Chains A and B, each alone.
Chain A
Amino acid sequence: MNTTIGAIIRGDREVFPPYLYEAYQSTRRRSPTLPLIEVPLTLSDLTGPGPVISAVTPEDADLTRNAGTGGEAIGQRIIMTGRVLDEHGNPVPDTLLEIWQANAAGRYLHKRDQWPGPLDPNFLGMGRCLTNAEGVYRFLTIRPGAYPWKNQPNAWRPAHIHFSLFGPSMLSRLVTQMYFPDDPLHALDPIMQSIPTEAARARLIAMYAHDVTEEEWALGYRWDIVVRGPQGTPFEASEVTR
């Protein structure tokens, strides 16, 4: 247990952000300051709710129409698809993905989001689906707008979609954000930049996929997600100084 106070990192320091990342102000009073405890893996960690949480309907994966108003969300229609894999490249089938996002104007349907971007009455900004037997997920949604926040002066979050997924065990639980390619806001965003390496940041960016794009209907994006596998490779003890 060699983690240095002030640089508490969970797991792989090439991939996971530190808990304290001062440029992202909310981390300052919410990040633990004492070393994470190294513990042996047990059945409690190698099991998890992923395989048995499966209540979704086909409508849940269509964010352009799932507001239940009969109307369609405004914005650039996109198909978001990809595979969920474990670190050995094996597909993770039948696992729940839950997503949420701002509307095309960058506004969330949430009482705490009060910036003067317009709401869209036909857009809830939430969806969910299960991966199929090959680990493939697919959502129909609209491209979210950039979103202003108060972290620093004139701060804008790059367009992003939040993803939550379970995978095979407690070790594979992941909440993350997917970004769009070629966005100049990436370099200015402390949340994205908290990911420590260029390679790991690139993992969070979807690719335009012309083979997914449907003629006169929607642009296609592909984004694969890699989670820890069912064997539960333990994280190495961090050896981090700063």
Chain B
Amino acid sequence: MSALLLTGSQTVGPFFAPALLREDARRNVLVQPETAGERIRIEGQVFDGDHVPVADALIEIWQANAHGRYNHPTDQGPAALDPSFLGFGRAGTDEDGGYWFETIKPGAVPFNATQMLAPHICVQVFARGLLNHLVTRLYFADEPTNASDPVFRCVPDERQATLLARREDRDAEIVYRFDIILQGAGETAFFNL
């Protein structure tokens, strides 16, 4: 069967917030009290090519639960589902380009029958001026398995640091900082996905 032409992408524009960030559409907090796993806060800022904060970006994340299982029918792995964890987050940026999520550190999911992926969170970025969304991944800087991750290894050495969220312990909270630089010095490594 011949493939249909895909529908092309267009920018999310400047006026998406009333629809995509309405009270019941934004999802900064992914956890419930009964969710299993280590609580973490993800924080970062989005910057443009002049290092000006991007105040009208939309960030979406997707991740496995603490056991390393995605809440999706394609994941038929043996790890347990967590009924109190969906794994999807959506946040807007503020005037400083800042965004945040409260979630759990994901478990490792399999790459194939013999190899695991390093724990990571999928990140998609939408904004005025982005005719397509951008796709990247957050890896944890203190995770020893990053170097053998088959996706992380595709990133040129000098750009790998752009995907590493750095841990900051703040009072009783574990914070991972993940800035996203759309263009220029320190430009985040984005994927052709």
Contacts and interface: CB of A to CB of B under 8 A. Distances in A.
Given A170-B62, A226-B5, A26 B129 contact: yes
Interface residues of A, number: 85
Label chain A's interface by main secondary structure. loop
Given A44-B62, A44-B117, A49 B6 contact: no
Interface in A136-182: 162, 164, 169-171, 173-177
Which range holds the interface residue count of chain B?
A: 35 or more
B2 to A, nearest CB: 9
Contacts of B137: 44
B74 A43 contact: yes
A1 B60 CA distance: 26
Which residue, B1, B3, B124, has most C-beta atoms of chain A within 10 A? B3
Interface stretch (A7-15, A72-80, A210-218): A7-15
B92 interface: no
Nearest to A231: B74
B182 interface: yes
B192 A175 contact: no
B98 interface: no
A51 interface: yes
Given A87-B4, A162-B19, A177-B11, 12 more contacts: A10-B132, A16-B8, A17-B131, A44-B70, A86-B4, A88-B4, A100-B19, A112-B14, A170-B122, A200-B5, A203-B5, A235-B193
Interface of A: 3, 10-12, 14-19, 21, 24, 26-34, 36-49, 51-53, 55, 85-89, 98-100, 108-110, 112-113, 124-128, 162, 164, 169-171, 173-177, 191-192, 194-195, 199-201, 203-204, 225-228, 230, 233, 235, 237-238
